[in-house]
Structures are given as C-alpha cells and as structure tokens.
C-alpha cells in the first residue's frame, strides 16, 4: 500500500493537469450542438482508462450518448467492484456570470474551477487516479474492478437501463461504488444512503389563436398567464404540502430513529440560511430543513414564461403561457404514477377558458440504501483513514436516476461515497471542486479498494 500512496503523492500535480484536460471538453449532454464534444469526451475517458493500465476499455454507442466501459479482472478470488459515474455536464448559462470560462479550468485558492469539476468529472477522475496509483505503484489491484461511465446522467440516463439489462453478465459485481454526491461539510467524510427521485414536466397553456390587443379584447378572454398562476397556486397548500390528490400515498414516513440520526448531524439551519442568502427558510410544516431536503418530497416551478417582457410596454394579451415544474420524490414513490396524478390534477384545476397540455420530461426513482452490508463498514474505515476524521451517514436531496435501477437489477449494495461540497456551485456558474478533497478522495479510494477486498 505504501507504494500506492507514494505514487499518488508523487504524481499529484500531473493528475491535476490531466483533470483539466477532461474538464476542457464541453460534454453538455442536453445540447445537440455539443453532440460531437460528448462523443469526444467518451473516447477521451476510454483513453484514460487504457492509459492507467486497465485490461480493456471500450466506447459503447447507444440511441443517445455513448457509454464507456472498462475493466481489470485480475483478482479471481476477490470481490468485484463496479464504479459508476458520468462524464456529461450541465449547460453553462448564464455565461457572463463565470469569472473564468467554464471550459478553461483554472485553480484559484485551492479550488479547481470549471463546468464538471465536481459534477462529476473530478469525482470520476479520483477513482481513475486511485486505480492508476494501484496499478502503476504495485502492478496489481486488490479487487476486480469495472468502470461504467455514462454520458446521459444529466438528462435522466435514458439509455442506461437497456444497456444494463443487455449486459448484465458483463456488469455483474459484488458492490457498486459511486462518487457523485457531496460531503455534509468540509472535513466531514460522508456516505450517502438516500437520494430523492424526480418527475419533471412542462405545462403549456393556450388562450387564443394569437396574441390579442389588451384594450380591444381585455375583459372578454381569459389571460393564459393568469390561468397559469391560478394553476401554480393550487399545486401546494399553505403548509407547504403538495396538493395533488393521492400524492403522498407511497411516501415512506420518517421514523423516530431517522429523525434522531438527522438531528445529531453537525448542521446549523441558521448558517445554512445565511449561506444561501435567503431572508427566511421555507419548507413543509413540521419538518426540519434536513428532513425536508432529504426525506420529504417537494415541488418547484423551475421556470415560467409568456407574454411581453421586452423594454417598455406593450398592451397585449398573450396567446400562450408555459411553466417547467420539478417534483422531487422519496421512497417508494414512482415517477410514472406521480406523472399520471399530476396530469389529472392539472387538467382538473385548469380554468375552462384555456387549453392545457402537460409534457412529461425526464424522471428517476428515489433510492434508500440498506446499510447493514459489510461494504458500508469497509467504506467507513477507508474514509476515516483518508480524511482522518469520523464518517457520517447522510442523504441527498438530488437525484441519480440509475442508482435505484442498478440496486434492483444487481441486488448488491450500492455505496455512495461523495467528495463534493454543498457550496461548489454544481449546475451553476463558477462550479468548483475543492482540491484538498480531490487529494483526500484519491487517498480514501486507494484505501477503499483494499478494504473492499476483504468483504
């Protein structure tokens, strides 16, 4: 092990330069304009896999963006670990708010800035470099290792389920390991044992064939923007509960043990409020901030548009109005069931004067881990050694759609060991990754593969 740790330490600066090369590729999965870049990124990841000494690595085409799969199966008596992550990134707008361009990575004050630096290129890179340190430092790995790095996580992992079903034997493993989440705070290594799911919609309203003069027609027609706000106002009640009938039927309630465990975590609601700069926090009545973020479903309008928003004034009744709505789900809610309930409810409450349609966008299942498997204890030991600090069990409010699927299909423990921080601006301008966590992440992963060899 000493040689492995030494290799990582001696090559640290080189690793950082290589991470920059990965961040330089604008692999925005949601944008057709970047299709070639996404493709290029997949091949780049494959080349890294071959360069670090894996036995094989290949780019697999799908109906969407490619999947990169690589393996090193040189330890027949030992467990097999499948590492899942993603090389695709979110869009970068608004571009003018970035201090340095999103795809020109730069290190400032111990932070690597750039789109994908933490979500998820930097965290995938941690594992690639930890594996490299084993292979180049000692010539072997203590476990069998498989890498599954996809290019569609940020758009709902649409083609990954079919890939998993078609290649179950190739992907079979004893443990799935994922680094695409955050630590509770700096210095507190964290294992994530719950993720929320997602159901995402666009609501489109039409009030007339075309825009109308607000003097000639105002008073005779229903304005679709008003109709939309009436709908939006009825999505949640005054207690912050989602008003869709039947919505809570499949929600697993918090049990006293969960509540105590969350209450004991080092998390201060007032510090959190100040950090996000909100005048006052808001959430479903009767639940703490962490309970609301991690264990309760929620609904948010992500965007709303329609009518005249240009300079000056224009007296018009718009023909259309639109909104994007995200609903975060918890176990055992199902995005399809929730989508049907949402569509029924929206068409029921829509004012009769407008035509309404609901488009289903991407979704994903929520996830809750059973932490009794020895892989969790092994991960605690490795993280404790890597960070020299006690480990906490947390959940995340975000979603990784593939996690519940792979848990169900492989029926093995899925361990989410995250090296991000909550304030690293994932999906926002000036995304960054803490370079101390990158380094300690590599060290912890080196220990983790060793720990997992004995489960």
Catalytic positions, written as ranges: 88, 153
Can you tell me the distance from the alpha carbon of 416 to that of 177, in angstroms, rounded to the nearest whole number?
6
Q: Among Zn ion, ligand BES, none, what binds residue 306 when CB lies within 5 to 8 Å by partner kind?
A: none
Question: Beta 80-86 vs 175-178: how paired, if at all?
Answer: parallel
- The answer to whether 194 and 296 are in contact (CB under 8 A) is no
Length of the chain: 455
The smaller minimum CB distance to Zn ion, of residues 123 and 133, is found at 123
Residue 117 sits in the site that holds ligand BES (CB under 6 A): no
Name every residue whose Cβ is closer than 8 Å to that of residue 78 and which is 6 or more positions away in sequence.
Answer: 142, 143, 144, 453
Residue 191 sits in the site that holds ligand BES (CB under 6 A): no
Can you tell me the distance from the alpha carbon of 159 to that of 225, in angstroms, rounded to the nearest whole number?
36
The smaller minimum CB distance to Zn ion, of residues 102 and 137, is found at 102
Q: Which of 198, 323, 356, 403 binds ligand BES (CB under 6 A)?
A: 198
Q: Which of 122, 189, 386, 398 binds ligand BES (CB under 6 A)?
A: 398
Report the nearest approach of ligand BES to the CB of residue 396 (Å).
4
Residue 88 sits in the site that holds Zn ion (CB under 5 A): no
Residue 182 sits in the site that holds ligand BES (CB under 6 A): yes
- The answer to whether 175 and 82 are in contact (CB under 8 A) is yes
- What tokens does 30 get? 């949601």
Q: What angle do CA 87, 91, 96 make, to 5 degrees?
A: 130
Report the nearest approach of Zn ion to the CB of residue 352 (Å).
40
Question: Beta 111-113 vs 197-206: how paired, if at all?
Answer: unpaired
- Phi, psi (rounded to 5 degrees) for 5: -65, -40
- For 86, the enclosing helix (H) or strand (E) is strand 80-86
Whole-angstrom Cα Rg for the chain: 24
Q: Which of 71, 119, 150, 450 binds ligand BES (CB under 6 A)?
A: 119
Segment near ligand BES (CB under 6 A); pick from 158-166, 179-187, 238-246, 380-388: 179-187
Residue 150 sits in the site that holds Zn ion (CB under 5 A): no
Selection from 182, 194, 108 nearest residue 421 by Cα: 182
- The answer to whether 321 and 265 are in contact (CB under 8 A) is no
Residue number closest to Zn ion, CB atom: 119
* Interactions with Zn ion, residue window 115-144 (CB under 5 A): 119
Segment near ligand BES (CB under 6 A); pick from 2-10, 294-302, 372-380, 392-400: 392-400
**Number of amino acids touching Zn ion (CB under 5 A):** 1
- The answer to whether 225 and 211 are in contact (CB under 8 A) is no
Residue 424 sits in the site that holds Zn ion (CB under 5 A): no
Residue 451 sits in the site that holds Zn ion (CB under 5 A): no
Q: Among ligand BES, Zn ion, none, what binds residue 29 when CB lies within 5 to 8 Å by partner kind?
A: none
Residue 121 sits in the site that holds ligand BES (CB under 6 A): no
Report the nearest approach of Zn ion to the CB of residue 18 (Å).
22
In the complex, the residues that contact Zn ion under the rule CB under 5 A are 119
In the complex, the residues that contact ligand BES under the rule CB under 6 A are 119-120, 153-154, 156, 180-182, 198, 362, 364, 396, 398-401
């Amino acid at each position: 092990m000493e040689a492995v740790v030494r290799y990582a330490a001696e090559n640290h600066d080189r690793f950082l330069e290589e991470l920059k090369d990965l961040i330089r590729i604008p692999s925005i999965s949601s944008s057709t304009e970047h299709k070639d870049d996404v493709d290029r990124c997949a091949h780049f990841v494959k080349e890294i896999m071959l360069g670090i000494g894996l036995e094989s690595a290949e780019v697999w085409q799908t109906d969407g963006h490619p999947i990169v799969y690589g393996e090193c199966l040189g330890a027949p008596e030992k467990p097999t670990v499948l590492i899942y992550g993603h090389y695709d990134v979110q869009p970068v707008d608004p571009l003018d708010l970035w201090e340095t361009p999103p795809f020109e990575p730069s290190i400032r004050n111990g932070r690597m800035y750039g789109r994908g630096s933490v979500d998820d290129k930097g965290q995938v890179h941690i594992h690639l470099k930890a594996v490299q340190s084993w292979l180049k430092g000692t010539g072997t790995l203590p476990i069998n290792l498989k890498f599954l790095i996809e290019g569609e996580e940020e758009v709902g992992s649409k083609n990954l389920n079919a890939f998993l079903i078609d290649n179950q034997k190739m992907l079979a493993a004893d443990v799935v390991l994922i680094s695409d989440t955050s630590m509770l705070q700096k210095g507190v290594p964290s294992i994530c044992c719950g993720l929320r799911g997602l159901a995402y919609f666009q609501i489109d309203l039409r009030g007339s064939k075309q825009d109308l003069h607000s003097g000639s027609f105002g008073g005779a027609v229903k304005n679709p923007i008003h109709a939309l706000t009436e709908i939006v106002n009825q999505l949640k009640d005054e207690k912050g509960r989602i008003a869709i009938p039947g919505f809570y039927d499949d929600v697993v309630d918090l049990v006293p043990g969960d509540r105590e465990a969350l209450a004991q975590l080092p998390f201060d609601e007032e510090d959190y409020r100040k950090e996000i700069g909100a005048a006052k926090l808001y959430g479903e009545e009767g639940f703490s901030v962490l309970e609301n973020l991690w264990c309760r479903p929620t609904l948010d309008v992500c965007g709303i548009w329609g009518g005249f928003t240009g300079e000056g004034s224009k007296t018009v009744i718009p023909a259309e109005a639109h909104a994007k709505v995200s609903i975060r789900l918890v176990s055992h809610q199902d995005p399809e069931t929730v989508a049907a309930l949402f569509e029924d409810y929206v068409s029921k409450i829509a004012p009769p004067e407008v035509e309404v349609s609901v488009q289903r966008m991407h979704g994903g299942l929520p996830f809750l881990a059973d932490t009794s498997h020895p892989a969790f204890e092994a991960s605690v030991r490795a993280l404790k050694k890597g960070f020299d600090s006690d480990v906490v069990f947390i959940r995340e409010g975000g979603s990784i759609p593939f996690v519940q699927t792979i848990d169900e299909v492989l029926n093995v423990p899925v361990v989410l060991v995250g090296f991000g921080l909550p304030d690293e601006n994932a999906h926002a301008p000036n995304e960054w990754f803490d370079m101390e966590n990158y380094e300690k992440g590599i060290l912890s992963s080196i220990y983790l593969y060793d720990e997992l060899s004995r489960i």
